[in-house]
A and B are shown apart, each in its own frame.
Chain A
Amino acid sequence: MMKDDNELVYEVIHGSISSFEVLIDRYQQTIFNIILRMVGDFETARDLTQDVFVKAFEKMGGFNFKYRFFSWIYRMAINEAINYNRKRPKNISLNGIDPLLAENPEASDHESSNRLLHNGLLNLTDDYRVLVLLKYYCGFSYEEINEVTRIPVKKVRSRLFIAREQLRKGLIANGFFENDR
């Protein structure tokens, strides 16, 4: 029977590395994908993902069982990515460091759309991007987004409304919809 996250956390706290491995297996993919879309760079996302799990391991002794593990680790991942973006030198263009954003004339329509979507996402501010990612890449409900970000549900709704509108406008501007018109 699959153990729930908090049970695994309990075991990790009590010295079980194998339980931590299960948690890594369970969450590394999503964490990495969120961070990748937050920072836009594969190598950085890889490093930050690893850092998140290392920090999670180190801080697990202070884990509050009142909360669910996923919200705890996602919050950690988001903070890690936001901190990285804050420290990132502003004069480096995202386009310059992100292979996902690089234009490729041989790319398929799907790949092109993907690139444009990433570009659109990276043009959002971190606060808005996080919400879009949690909503659409993690498939979270408003309540779950609230659990991760601690932003009240009402505010999640209103901010997501703005984030979506900004994303759509950005995508219109970068030609995301052109093939469909």
Chain B
Amino acid sequence: MVFLKMTDKEIIEKIYRKLDGELTAAELHELETYLAGHPEAVRFAKEWELIKEQMESELANPVDIDFKQEILKKINTETYKQPKKTEILIMRSFWSRPDFRSGFAFVSGVFMGLKNMNLINNDMKKQVKVIISIVVAIAILIVAISFFFPTVFKGLTSGTFGKAEKYHKQQMTEKDILLRSEFVNDTAQLRNMIQGLIYFSLFTQDLSTKIDSCVLIFKAQGLGDLAEDAKKVSILQDYSDFIKNNNRTLGTTISMLNGFYLKDTADLSQDVEKNLRDFGTYVNTLNEKDSVLSQALLSMDNFMLTNKTIQARKTEIARLKSIRDQLLVKSIQIAGILGNKEQVGSMLSYAMASQDNLNRLLGNDQLGEFMAQNKLQFVASNEGIQSFVASNAMQANVSSDLSMMFQSNQQVGAVASKDKLNMNGLAMVYDKPGLQFLVGDKPGLQNLVGSQENLNAILSGTDNLQSMQVIAFFGVEKLNVILSNYSLQNVIQAQSLGYLPASDGLNVIYLSQENLGFIGATQGLNNMLGVLRSQNLGVFDPGQ
């Protein structure tokens, strides 16, 4: 065997690397072979094993301390800092960049000045002309630098977290560029994605507006006077700002993709990757932070339930509840869009559980009698929808029951009979003004609304007279959530929703004629997520 000639330093380095567990099998073998013939090196290695052993024994038995209380005492909680708007880097178009605009204005100004001066004084001295030329050259240089070495715009967006950050460290390879090239040249995919992102943006913008209204109205009534509530309101407002800020970024992303779609942009750069990742981070954060909504809703409900002054003003309490209800439905929808099964379940559960108390405030319990007579029930447990489904044995034959339920709608019945939908006859409806959530089978619901026709109209979203709206069907294995008015025809077509970011056991069905944005939002998200995954930019995994 031929030994490599190793200097002392190399041996020592190898011994350290062995201690650190960094040696490959071949290197280890090589070192051991060397050590076999060099007792001094063996001694060195043993010494270090001893040192490391001693250190590790300490590591395993650290000095046990707990200073938490002392630290908390020292902290002045009143002075904690306001949230910093964390920055996500966004590339902007040249014209939207201040340096480019300033440079352009500067050059224009100098040219105008030069022109004016020439008009005034054609016999300008050579020296002045030289100075002007230098100034113009500098101005051109500034513009050129801003053009060829674009700066990054630090958008006011908060919420870039570690989990998403790690993907920022990935290096782009030629293979990635090739894939990206294929992706941006896939016109159909691009078109769907652009459309979807626009819808997603519209939906989240609407959510943000709802939050703002809610915050404004509740704050005007005194929510936030208590420190704990003030924090929740403030966090909710931050959530809304986060959406607004990121939607601006989303606008940039859409413009960029639009550029590719229109073939305006020839070159492929890391901008696409960056923006896709930023979008992934945005979605991740929305998903991770959706508890902000439930926390704020809880705060609002407590406010309404405990504030005697407000309770005495029926108009005010009704107004508060109405805006709160809108936010609640929107919150369920965003959880649905994001495919967050747990959040949908807990929000629905909370929605139902909270209605009883809130409606009592309004004296709005007229549905109670119907419920008792027709064996309907509130779902008032916090165990979540799934446990409710599990505890209520589903007897109905899915397809036949659906056919019966929707028999007045031939098209729906025909499709349903194909057993495409895994539903049984139990549905959850809610009364829109009161947001009373009710669960019942077909006969119960039919009695509630007067006739099967009425029920079908409600279920198919064509009911103009009744204020009822269906929100969910319980299936034997799946919970199907209908999150807005919809046409049943669309529901049937929504079998393609199997591709949506819904977890196993939850189909999110979200069809609405007046709320196309909702459909598009989910599709857009899904399109984008598909691309993120296919491009190995995976930043989002619903249900994780």
Contact = CB atoms under 8 A, between A and B. Distances in A.
Contacts of B235: 14-15
Given A6-B161, A21-B68, A36-B63, A61 B84 contact: yes
A180 B46 contact: yes
Nearest to B53: A113
20 contacts: A6-B165, A10-B158, A13-B83, A15-B234, A20-B75, A29-B62, A32-B63, A42-B63, A46-B67, A53-B67, A54-B71, A58-B80, A61-B84, A65-B86, A68-B165, A110-B57, A135-B20, A136-B55, A136-B59, A161-B16
Given A13-B81, A66-B165, A28 B66 contact: yes
B367 interface: no
Interface string B235-269: 10010000000000000000000000000000000
Contact of A137 (B44, B55, B84): B55
Contact of B71 (A12, A29, A50, A59): A50
Given A13-B84, A62-B81, A68-B162, A137 B63 contact: no
Contact of A62 (B84, B231, B234): B84
A53 B71 contact: yes
B414 interface: no
Q: Is the interface of A mostly helix, strand, loop or mixed?
A: helix
B292 to A, nearest CB: 9
Given A54-B71, A58-B75, A171-B47, 17 more contacts: A10-B158, A13-B83, A14-B238, A16-B231, A28-B66, A29-B65, A49-B67, A57-B80, A61-B80, A65-B160, A69-B162, A114-B58, A136-B52, A137-B58, A139-B59, A164-B16, A176-B51
A7 interface: yes
B75 A15 contact: no
Nearest to A133: B55
A117 interface: yes
Contacts of A58: 75, 79-81
A39 to B, nearest CB: 13
A28 B67 contact: yes
Contact of B68 (A24, A165, A180): A24
B51 A168 contact: yes
Interface in A128-152: 135-137, 139
Contacts, number: 143
B81 A61 contact: yes
A50 B67 CA distance: 7
Interface of A: 4-7, 10, 12-17, 20-21, 24-25, 28-30, 32-33, 36, 42, 46, 49-50, 53-54, 57-66, 68-69, 110, 113-114, 117, 135-137, 139, 160-161, 164-165, 167-168, 171-172, 176-177, 180
A25 B68 CA distance: 7
B65 A14 contact: no
Interface in B62-97: 62-68, 70-72, 74-75, 77, 79-84, 86
B13 interface: yes
Contact of B47 (A32, A64, A113, A177): A177
